[in-house]
Amino acid sequence: MSRYLLIETKDPLDGGDYSFELGKQLRKDRHEVSLYLLQDAVLAARRGFRFGESLLTEAKSSGLTVLADEISLRERGVSGERLSGEVRTAGMTELVELLMEGSEKAIWH
Amino acid sequence: MAKARKTLHITVTAGPYGSETPVSVFRLVDAALDKGYDVDVLAYEDGVLLTAKAQRQHDDPIWTDRAEHHTDAGKAHSTTAEFVARLLEKGKGVPHLNWFV
């Protein structure tokens, strides 16, 4: 079993669902997976965005840990009531900790 | 025996102003130095332009008639070369930043 860190930067409607799919497959093989949403990928965390909500629901049921970059969220006005309850906000410090201590394999997409 | 300092290795191909990726890399390098990790960045393809010194700041293109938005007022956008220069200054000691092109 390995610990994977997937960093997704793309809009979920522009290929950003890739890391969700990869994460689910890795979970099936019993790997630990953290998914960090950065840049346009945080658009998946908009409350009421049906496709994003389905990605987050499936991620949760698969056991993925999903984090959303707080600055990327703020830049796009996704905060408060606009933010899905299925993600936890995080910052670069936590991403560095995941990269350096919390994973053996990191993939940036 | 002292524990060896870990090094974060980053390769970046994205050039300046074409995407948000360089800014994300700058933020990542900054946070890694804050956490006490050494950092090696290898910039290639368009990434070599991140440190091009020929870049120049410019005034706000919308409010050119407002003095507070002029370059001299410190309101202009930093160039990517200036961001990298600040990171190199921050990482000139320990922890250390190497920026390769």
Region B11-29: mean pLDDT is: 96
The answer to whether residue B2 is domain-embedded is: no
Dist. CA B96–CA A81, nearest whole Å? 41
| CATH code assigned at A19 | 3.40.1260.10
Residue-number span of the structural domain to which B76 is assigned:
7-100
Distance CA A82, CA A67 (A): 16
Domain assignment present for B55 = yes
Distances from the Cα of B33 to the Cαs of A92, B62, B83, in angstroms? 11, 36, 14
Interface test with chain B among A9, A95, A96, by most B beta carbons within 10 Å: A96
pLDDT in tens, A19-50: 999 999 999 999 999 999 999 999 999 999 99
Count of structural domains within chain B: 1
Q: For residues B68 and B20, which has the higher predicted lDDT (pLDDT)?
A: B20
Residue in B with minimal Cα distance to A9: B21
Q: Does residue A37 belong to the interface with chain B, where contact is any CB pair within 8 Å?
A: no
The number of folded domains in chain A is: 1
Long-range contacts of A45-50 (CB under 8 A, 24+ apart): A45/A73, A45/A78, A45/A83, A45/A84, A45/A86, A45/A87, A46/A78, A46/A82, A46/A83, A46/A84, A47/A81, A47/A82, A47/A83, A47/A84, A47/A85
Contact (CB<8Å) B20/A40: yes
Q: State whether B8 and A95 contact (CB < 8 Å).
A: no
| Interchain CB contacts (distance < 8 Å): A and B | 33
Which of the two residues, B88 and B72, has the higher pLDDT score? B88
Confidence check: pLDDT of B2 > 90: no
Does residue B1 sit within a domain? Answer: no
Inter-chain residue contact A96 with B37, CB threshold 8 Å = yes
Cβ of A106 under 8 Å from any chain B Cβ?
Answer: no
What is the CATH number for B34? 3.40.1260.10
Residue B26: closest C-alpha in chain A: A92
Domain that holds residue A58: 3-108
Mutation target vs B (from A70, A99, A101; most B CBs, 10 A cutoff): A99
Q: Is the pLDDT of residue B76 over 70?
A: no
| pLDDT tens per residue across span A66-108 | 999 999 999 999 999 999 999 999 999 999 999 999 999 999 9
Mean pLDDT, residues B55-62 taken together: 76
- pLDDT at B69 > cutoff 80: no
Q: What is the pLDDT of residue B22?
A: 96
Pick from A9, A93, A99: which is nearest to B8 by CB?
A: A99
Residue-wise pLDDT tens digits, A47-67: 999 999 999 999 999 999 999
Distance from CA of B3 to the nearest CA of A (A): 14
Residue B15 lies in a domain: yes
Complex-level ipTM: 0.93
Contact A104, B39 (CB under 8 A): no
Q: Is the separation of the CB atoms in A52 and A84 below 8 Å?
A: yes
Among A9, A39, A70, A92, which would you mutate to test the B interface (most chain B Cβ atoms within 10 Å of its Cβ)?
A92
- pTM equals 0.91
Are A71 and B27 an interchain contact pair (Cβ–Cβ within 8 Å)? Answer: yes
B68 to chain A, minimum CA–CA distance in Å? 23
